[in-house]
Homo-oligomer: A and B are copies of this chain.
Amino acid sequence: MPLIAVDVIRGHDETHLTTLLDGIHDAVVEALAVPDTDRYQILTQHEPLEIRALDTGLGYTRSQNLTIIRVISKARPEAAKQRLYALIAQNLHARLGIGGDDIIISIAENTDADWSFGGGRAQFLTGDLPNTPDESTK
């Protein structure tokens, strides 16, 4: 947790994709203060015609580097979310030259009962995992 779906346009090599996923993960670890082993990512590569992303009039120009990131997470403070957005943009620019124009992020929140990380157990309910400190800032 969080669980992160990343959608990109097909055409990047394995090194690029690995660096992309690593850059997103490092931002998650720092912004949300989760352990490095808290990594759950699903990448899907698309034909160009399968992705449509305009800009709501904000002036962004999308390119073949377009990266759409959907996050499912327990509740997080607004400041942590803003830090997450900034760090993802920073990491992907520094490591891959992906511009901020190409990064779209959306978060959906759920609760302790909504996660099972293995063994058919709800680890936040059973005590296998502690409630995160972030939860108290809701």
Contacts and interface: CB of A to CB of B under 8 A. Distances in A.
A127 to B, nearest CB: 12
Contact of A100 (B46, B100, B118): B118
Contacts of A68: 3, 40, 42
Interface string A10-26: 00001001100100010
Given A81-B113, A103-B118, 12 more contacts: A1-B56, A18-B49, A39-B54, A41-B51, A41-B53, A43-B51, A58-B123, A58-B128, A89-B120, A100-B118, A103-B120, A106-B115
A33 interface: no
A54 B120 CA distance: 16
B106 A119 contact: no
Q: For the complex, would chain A's binding face be called helix, strand, loop or mixed by DSSP majority?
A: mixed
Interface in A57-77: 57-58, 60, 68, 70, 72
A57 B130 CA distance: 12
